[in-house]
Amino acid sequence: MKVKNPVIPGFHPDPSLLCVGKDYYIATSTFEWFPGVCILHSTDLANWEIASYALTDDQKVDMTGLDMSCGIWAPNLTWNEGKFYLTYTIVYTDRQRYKDTYNFVTTAPDVCGPWSDPVLLNASGFDPSMFHENGRHYLVNMVIDHRTDKVRFCGIDVQEYDEEKGRLIGNPVRVSKGTGRGETEGPNIFYHEGYYYLVVAEGGTRYQHCTCVLRAKNLFGPYEPDPNNPVLTSAGQEDCLLQRAGHSQAVRGADGNWYMAHLCSRPIEKNSILGRETAIQNITWTKDGWFKLSANDTGKPEAFFEVPDFSGKQGQDHSQKVDFSGETDFSGIRGKESRERYHPDPVPLPLEYMTLRRSFLRNGITIRKGKLHLEGGASVMSKYFQSLVARRQQSLYCDFETCMEFAPRHLNHIAGMLVYYNYDNHYYLKMSRDEYGKFLAVTSNVNKEVEDLITINLPEEIRKVYLKAQIRADKLQYFYGTEPGEWIPIGPVLDMKNISDEHIVGNGFTGSMLGVNCCDCQLDGVFADFEYLNYTEYEG
């Protein structure tokens, strides 16, 4: 049966695909969002649900103050002798020639945890992965060269990891410098019929992105490139639905067939509003021992792939309403069992919802008296103490709606709804107070250019206001109301292309997030309560 790509839409980049028995897992990057490393599960490759997050303790994963699109990069998930291994990078600095990239490994008997305390491995580069062979473990990562006269992404190192000692041993071996396409990263190694296959991403994660393959008879090389590289790319193929294709991992599936997961995006006028997403391709082995896409010889990512044994239905609608009044049965929320067993953050939000850099509780976010309760945090442009809850936008056609209770006492009390990329790029429908009383305003922030687009006064007796973001492809319209079902447009139609990877000045590696927040820039105890969060998708 044909399965539609992307299988995991909306801000799910750098997929690491793993098959264990009849179960499939994909780990994706989360950057500055918390909890860290999203792990999704499927039994059919078509339908994916969030099973857990691996990094849930912000005392062990400190991202406070990190810049946008730093944080947790490119996790790699492997399985060996009854245990899951997860390697990942925390990027503390990404500036000019330097990157402070600390690589870690953590392990667990189950993807839902408990995950062991992270072990620091090295800081020579990023995108670490683990290769296991005959009871031994080997770290694979790309390496950064800070010298201005050298290639910055200078190659791939392999070094043995001693699990008992909890550290790398011996010296790193430079096994490859890539294929010459530049920006060699995302390495992972697997063994198949006499060869070690090194899969790398090259060309950068924009429109020249690609996946290349090299192989060797020995783990430490020498590695020869596939003469038909790249095995996957959408570069130069303007008619391709899935652009920016690259950063891949190939596995043999439970059905004996081979599949390759990769990142991609579906841009509007070369603006990836949903960020980088996860797709899957069928791959086949050639007579000379290389692999290629099953559907074509050009490496062009296909909008559909085949799962021969799948006879069910692919669910593409991620609509979800969370009602904190008690009408929502949290026993049915995905991830609840794993949260109760292992999650140190007891706020019973669906796993689709995240916050910034720290845990919900440390950001002042709880559920209290039947409402989502947000203690006022720092301003929406801060890298610290954000009282903000958000989920990924997973469709270009969707609504996000809430009902907010908020009693601002002065101008430094602010709360509302965000369509958010980062602290320098977002649209904000907010309530506050000035010398004339309470008001609603729409503020645009595009690469630090801040503009208040409209302000309307609210009657003093209004304590509850309904807020909605209506997104239709590259257009956003905010609405408000004071009664259920009443929707009044507020502000102009806004350009969602500003909320995209390509429009960001600096690194843009995440995607559009839809959320609510509360700011207390007076530090005198203001808060906001939200009765529900309703995310609804529509056909485009």
Residue 274 CA, chain-centre distance (Å), reads: 10
Angle subtended at Cα 464 by Cα 459 and Cα 466, rounded to the nearest 5 degrees: 105
Question: Is residue 185 annotated as part of the catalytic site, yes or no?
Answer: yes
The order of strands in the sheet holding 167-176 is 129-133, 136-144, 153-162, 167-176
How would you label 138-154 residue by residue, b for 16+ Cβ within 10 Å and e otherwise?
Answer: bbbbbbbeeeeeeebbb
Confirm if 436 and 461 have CB atoms less than 8 A apart: no
**Residue 496 per-residue DSSP state:** G
What whole-number distance in Å separates Cα of residue 50 and Cα of residue 343?
14
Nearest residue to 92 (alpha-carbon basis) of 67, 111, 121, 57: 67
What whole-number distance in Å separates Cα of residue 242 and Cα of residue 397?
18
Distances (CA, A) of 502 to 119, 401, 505: 34, 27, 8
What whole-number distance in Å separates Cα of residue 158 and Cα of residue 71?
23
DSSP state letters, 353-389: EEEESS-TTTTTEEEETTEEEEE-BS-TT-SS---EE
The order of strands in the sheet holding 71-80 is 71-80, 83-95, 98-108, 119-122
Selected catalytic residue, list 32, 157, 185, 501? 185
Question: Is residue 160 annotated as part of the catalytic site, yes or no?
Answer: no
Distances (CA, A) of 243 to 85, 207, 264, 479, 510: 30, 7, 6, 32, 16
Selected catalytic residue, list 14, 226, 352, 399? 14
Q: Which residue has the tokens 């600390």?
A: 102
**Which of the residues are catalytic?**
14, 185
